[in-house]
Structure 1
Amino acid sequence: MFPSNSVSVSCFDEIVKTNSVTIPSYLGRLILRTHHEDDTANLALVFSDSFSRRHLSFLQPPNGWGDERERNNNKQWTEQDFLDRVKVQTEARTNGKSCVLNIVLLATASNEKNDRCIGTTGFVKIDGNTGYLGIITHRDTTRMGYATEALYTTIVFAFEKLGINKIVMYTDEKNEEMRGWCEKTAGLKLFGKNPMEINGYAFTECEYQFNLDEWNHSIKKTLEFKMNKINTNEKLSLISTEQ
């Protein structure tokens, strides 16, 4: 059963630094896990998809695109590009500076033949007790509540295992979906806006943040209420289909 209470720890769990992690989600439709070889191809596709990364144009492989790919505007992620990213993230996790998890949609929930990796979430950067949370998912999994389920699961894990007691989320001002999730789904208030330029991409960055007390006081219950509503609607839909 998924933990019902978030408990802060004073430091990044040493076991998490060097071991594989698999976490069941609140509704049981997903698991979050450290990288598996089977995830690589799907994630290279997600990171290459213009829709999935339309507000993350600054994302590029650790070694950049290279001159030829820049000239040809061939900014598609290869599997090796993604493995290079995983290597960087794994080294950072070993030092307690990052914890990125792959989002795996379970076949039992999707009626697909196999489990499928649909994106990543977690903390590309952890600075002391502050974690910087993000998410990217495949275009065919939007508006199904998977992002809420994945983010909730990641947040609980962060407060329990990563020594985090404050979470910061950044998003492009033009990213209405992510801003809507922060403000309407989670009930977060806009903390500030800042002009940014990353890898030659200029945009206005919106910042949201919350701490453990705010999480326990309201945000956690708000997300659980909305996920339980999703679960109820799915059960009603199933009953209607079977009749």
Structure 2
Amino acid sequence: MILNESLTSLSGRVRLAPPSESDDAFFATVRCHPETRRYLPFFPAHCTPDDARARRLSREPNKAIVDFSIYALTPGSPPKYAGNTTLFNIDETFKTGETGACISPELFGQGIATDALHTVLTYAFEERKLHRVVFQTAAYNVRMRSWLERFGATLEGTLREGWADGEGGYMDGCLYSILEHEWRQNVKAKLEGRMDLGVRA
């Protein structure tokens, strides 16, 4: 599903935009980057702009998926492609969805993930009126797990050998969730406090 408009983060530092053809080469580079595949080893080792285009077009009609390109905004400079995020597995009956983000490794440590995920969670809970949003991450991805726990996501359990490891075997994943009342009561404020303080995630 494609939104008709972009979403700008509360800080004004990040914009989430509908993916376009001009993003395909950047998307492909981030998707198969060794640092991306370090925690998502089932991602392809090789991804071309044509692969990215085919993926983008195949997902556009799916109403259970809303994809975004992430752009970093700096005054006086053109927007810079910074990665991608998505709200997917959207179930309107149970008001649930799943999210995650891939940030360009060259932009790690600049707070882009915090801005992007705050923006997509605002969309999920306040625009789409979802009740529950989940995240999955590799069990060994300490950085992402710490980020989720810091902002109030709840660890629901380990997905034992739930992910392909990219080498013919399996690896453990971890499932986290945020409920709508948790978003309202503390998660949103914690994220915004991090953004307001200028501390980088």
TM-score greater than 0.5 by the shorter chain: yes
Q: Which stretches of structure 1, 4 residues or longer, exceed 4 Å deviation after superposition?
A: none
Of residues 170, 175, 186, the one that matches 1:202 is 170
Q: Matched residue of 1:51: which SS?
A: helix
- Per-residue deviation at 1:32? 0.2
Taking structure 1 as reference, are residues 20 and 201 closer, same or farther at Cα in structure 2, changes over 3 Å only?
Answer: farther
- Per-residue deviation at 1:42? 1.0
Structure that is richer in helix per residue: 1
For these two proteins, the number of residue pairs brought into alignment is 195
Of residues 43, 48, 66, the one that matches 2:27 is 43
Tell me whether 1:190 sits opposite 2:155 in the alignment: yes
Cα distance in 1, alignment partners of residues 53 and 135 from structure 2: 25
Write out per-residue CA displacement over residues 99-126 of structure 1, whole angstroms, 9 at most, x where no aligned residue.
1111011242xx6x53221111122321
Of residues 55, 70, 83, the one that matches 2:39 is 55
Tell me whether 1:215 sits opposite 2:199 in the alignment: no
Q: TM-score, normalised by structure 1?
A: 0.75
Q: Which residue of 1 aligns with 2:141?
A: 175
Cα distance in 2, alignment partners of residues 157 and 147 from structure 1: 15
- Confirm or deny: 8 A CA contact 2:3 2:66 kept in the other structure: no
Write out per-residue CA displacement over residues 184-237 of structure 1, whole angstroms, 9 at most, x where no aligned residue.
2x1223111111133745111111101111100111111111110017x9xxxx
- Name the Cα RMSD after superposition: 1.9
Q: Which has the larger radius of gyration?
A: 1
Tell me whether 1:131 sits opposite 2:82 in the alignment: no
- Confirm or deny: 8 A CA contact 1:98 1:126 kept in the other structure: yes
Please tell me the residue identity of whatever aligns with 1:126: I
- Per-residue deviation at 1:59? 2.3
Tell me whether 1:78 sits opposite 2:43 in the alignment: no
Uncovered stretches (5+) of structure 2, i.e. residues with no partner:
none
Uncovered stretches (5+) of structure 1, i.e. residues with no partner:
1-16, 61-74, 234-243
- Confirm or deny: 8 A CA contact 1:58 1:201 kept in the other structure: no
Taking structure 1 as reference, are residues 100 and 18 closer, same or farther at Cα in structure 2, changes over 3 Å only?
Answer: closer
